[in-house]
Structure 1
């Protein structure tokens, strides 16, 4: 085989041109094959008429017109390949030239050697242009990818600081998750909502906790009785402040009030339609938390939030969440808000902490509007209403997990951190 371009070869034995880009052959006469072979051997060099006559008609004496006719038919057969030029050099003979345009088709070639030759031989300008185009394509694909959106969202969070919480008279340093643009990170932003004179819980034991803020919500998640085995899931305390004015929350009264609020009938359940599960068995990973929002002079508002994950493979599956907002006096008809979609789970680092990030592509939002809303619950109704209107991907952050519990930063009512109870259900 004599290679003319990275995709065009001369098969002397079969007397034909082989076009690997188009996967076709072009038949040659013995004389055309021999003359073309001689021109390829002398590529770029002028071949005399005598040399070509000797190559094309071995041991035969023919007229010069035979060579002229041979060159004419070769040119017609090479017409589909404008980069292959057969020139007449007046008074001297003929010359075969191959331009660099032949490398344009190199991606269609299955021959790795031809591809390598094309890359090596191609001009510097073409190489640079190809690199620039490849970089631009990769950049476009990156910025339009789901993972870029996740990295961008996760990049707005930090966890390089800790703050000291004083819960029930026990002080403890806890990790702090905060947005880049938040400037007020003093512990008082969390502590001032707990009335210092009544911040006492007799049976509270040393605890573990987390704090978070997006600049609007200042939240804390506390697990009493935390030990090396993890959090037992009893007496979890989740408080989120939405107002800068100190709420004056009496912790002793708060503990009793939460018990009565949590004993009410729960209106919030994640109900997964059987039609979405098919006939196969699934495992539902269910998380539930009660979050309390103290505001000075207002009734205490509770949001119980449930999250359910059903994995379809190692890192993706169906996602369901449901939130229900009520107040301590039952003056607000439950405000129920449900989100359904598909999640993809990633492992990212925020500061020095490894975090599971769940990117949720929302497919359905449902707000069940209440008959009446108290003044204490009205801000939450407005927040959910705004959230329902805006269509966007949601990002849920699981910052801690053990066998019984998990800590999540959830974007349903602001970005609030809470300690959730965990259970696994066979469906």
Structure 2
């Protein structure tokens, strides 16, 4: 452990900075830690870029921009400590200078007698007022915190009961998820869109899954399960109703039609072969197809993609893409992309342990079609509304196995989708 200042310590083995004034720990990447250690070994000396690249990326060939980005990130992590100055020396390299810490600031943190005198000298009313103000600040910060928002969102949902649905000729229980206060939970709300006389799927009799409603739309995500209880990736069905009138979906025709639609074109597939190797970045990619049957309308499909790139254990970059078209490609594809940063939280949804991803949206791209068909108008209006309004979104991963995951996604309100999972090293 190396003392940089009387209150700031550097642990080069754990790649961490420790602020002793508040007990905070600041994590560093390998390159940031190595560059900082080299600069600290030569205080006030000008270290050339080649030497810093050599220690920060040993046995690797990287561009000078990697060092520039490393220095920039390191400066941000050192910003709370103004006496530690990481300077750029034009055309020569970088210099680390540590100036003495102001005694006034240190007195406020370390001088117990001064703190005691200050507390004794004030009146009881002032003390009580100070405590109330402090409690008010804490309560306000808690109410506005991201974690409180996640808890409020999770508290809206109920899980624990089951309903029996007949999918492909076999009736099995599905886990039911719905908002608190919703009473329209009869199985017919999900079942009525499948034509009973054609409800047959060969080799689809051991499925499991979830029935979901947001109070407006009713969706189901099912997958036929193998002997180990895990989803068979080629046996996934996601259906969502958007119209109260029974759709009369012919399941025999649907299986063949959905296969043709998915083989014909896939907008959100991963082109890089999946790999277990660890790269500089790892993308966790989820892809699923959601179908929206409507009576006397072309079958509409949403090709959904969700990608997570972690830069910390429970946070990182978030990408979501949805492309909507119909079975005959008469609907010009409606493409909607979201980019942002996420924080991942573990919550309980009734009886389910789920991962909630709180996404702060930084960029939204909606490719607007020149002509919107009648079958696609509902989707266009809903997506356009959210494109204008949403700045914060919640995605919930309610189930995961080795190759798939089930998500509740904020699309057309909210719906459930069983997705395939791929891990790609970049």
> What residue is the counterpart of 2:347 in the other structure?
348
Q: TM-score w.r.t. structure 1 length?
A: 0.69
Shift of 1:114: 5.8
Change (3 A) 1:356 1:109: closer
Q: Which of structures 1 and 2 has the bigger CA Rg? A: 1
Shift of 1:218: 0.5
| Distance in structure 2 (CA, Å) of the matches to 1:194 and 1:180 | 27
Shift of 1:228: 3.1
> What residue is the counterpart of 1:96 in the other structure?
none
More deviation in 260-269 or 285-294?
260-269
Alpha-carbon contact 1:384-1:412 (below 8 Å) kept: yes
> What residue is the counterpart of 1:203 in the other structure?
203
Q: Secondary structure at the match of 1:298?
A: coil
Structure 2: stretches of 5+ with no match in the other structure: 1-106, 273-278
Shift of 1:266: 2.1
> What residue is the counterpart of 1:291 in the other structure?
290
| Distance in structure 1 (CA, Å) of the matches to 2:329 and 2:219 | 23
| Distance in structure 2 (CA, Å) of the matches to 1:370 and 1:170 | 40
| Distance in structure 1 (CA, Å) of the matches to 2:226 and 2:345 | 27
| Distance in structure 2 (CA, Å) of the matches to 1:355 and 1:307 | 17
| Distance in structure 1 (CA, Å) of the matches to 2:398 and 2:158 | 12
Structure 1: stretches of 5+ with no match in the other structure: 1-106, 273-279
Q: Secondary structure at the match of 2:244?
A: coil
Shift of 1:220: 0.5
> What residue is the counterpart of 2:321 in the other structure?
322
| Distance in structure 1 (CA, Å) of the matches to 2:196 and 2:332 | 33
| Distance in structure 2 (CA, Å) of the matches to 1:379 and 1:271 | 31
| Distance in structure 2 (CA, Å) of the matches to 1:118 and 1:342 | 43
Q: Secondary structure at the match of 2:375?
A: coil
Q: Secondary structure at the match of 1:232?
A: strand
| Distance in structure 1 (CA, Å) of the matches to 2:237 and 2:269 | 21
Alpha-carbon contact 2:338-2:361 (below 8 Å) kept: yes
> What residue is the counterpart of 1:367 in the other structure?
366
How large is the RMSD of aligned CA atoms in angstroms? 2.1
> What residue is the counterpart of 1:386 in the other structure?
385
> What residue is the counterpart of 1:220 in the other structure?
220
Change (3 A) 1:235 1:271: closer
CA displacement 1:75-102 (0-9 Å, x = unmatched):
xxxxxxxxxxxxxxxxxxxxxxxxxxxx
Alpha-carbon contact 1:285-1:423 (below 8 Å) kept: yes
Shift of 1:268: 3.6
Alpha-carbon contact 2:269-2:287 (below 8 Å) kept: no
CA displacement 1:28-48 (0-9 Å, x = unmatched):
xxxxxxxxxxxxxxxxxxxxx
> How many positions carry a matched residue from both structures?
314
Shift of 1:271: 9.4
Q: How does 1:181-260 map to 2 (within 5 A)?
A: 181-260=181-260
Shift of 1:225: 2.7
CA displacement 1:373-400 (0-9 Å, x = unmatched):
2211111111111111113201000001
Change (3 A) 1:226 1:187: farther
Q: Secondary structure at the match of 2:264?
A: coil
Shift of 1:119: 5.2
Alpha-carbon contact 2:332-2:372 (below 8 Å) kept: yes
